[in-house]
Structure 1
């Protein structure tokens, strides 16, 4: 399973993109835009994290997701993020 999440702090000034990879309800690796690399959470994720981190084009695309995915969709997500009661 794959899950992507945008965390907005102070509007679009401070945005964090987190991508999680899950197998059998266990997160085995994740990408955090603050770190800028894939990080292994279990032994299963070590090989995958090393593989993704060795590909500059994959890392460049993930790092750009802060702008291309999160900031681009901020106005779509805003009512759900800020206007909940």
Structure 2
């Protein structure tokens, strides 16, 4: 890791901190955590290095830099690597924004949440045929716990017997998740639970 003129290196899973002091592109003093004292790189700087080594409090602070700088960065790097490997399966709900009657314009909402990473593909199907018109995709939103959520809505006029399917593909899934909705099914409970989301979806269209 690098911090100003300090460079920390890792060898065989052990941390080594090397702090280099440079003036006019020439290194004149360095502190190697394996040595524990300042070392002059030129004869002219021997006195400066000696004076710095006499200041025990300052020297001890610099010795601790391997813990403060390198180990902290190492933990961050490990956390980033672990996070990059984590995949969280999405939760999918489908519901109409309004509980209207047949042959009335409506908005069907596919609400996908709690997934990671953020890359996701969501498609709509009607009776097995993909719908490409009348689709509105809201912005990807962070949940606050590094997972994401998104709304993908389909403008439609439901007909008796129509079956709509939200098709979700995500890196965490071995195969796509599909959730169906048809006019005949009872979605009243789910619609009530997600009234706020449905109202937001309508606001995007009308």
For this structure pair, what is the TM-score category when the shorter chain's length is used for normalisation?
A: 0.7 to 0.9
Tell me: higher relative CO, structure 1 or 2? Use CA pairs within 8 A at least 6 residues apart: 1
Partner of 1:57: 57
Question: Is the 8 Å Cα contact of residues 28 and 43 (structure 1) preserved in structure 2?
Answer: no
TM-score, normalising length: structure 1: 0.78
| Regions of 4+ moved over 2 Å | 75-79
Structure 2 residue matching 1:36: 3-state secondary structure? coil
Cα distance in 1 between the residues matched to 2:27 and 2:75: 29
Partner of 2:36: 36
Structure 1, gaps ≥5 residues long:
80-85
- Compute the displacement of 1:77 (Å): 4.7
TM-score, normalising length: structure 2: 0.34
- Compute the displacement of 1:75 (Å): 3.1
- Compute the displacement of 1:21 (Å): 0.7
Cα distance in 1 between the residues matched to 2:16 and 2:38: 14
More helix by share: 1
More strand by share: 2
Larger radius of gyration: 2
Aligned-residue RMSD, C-alpha:
1.7
Cα distance in 2 between the residues matched to 1:77 and 1:29: 29
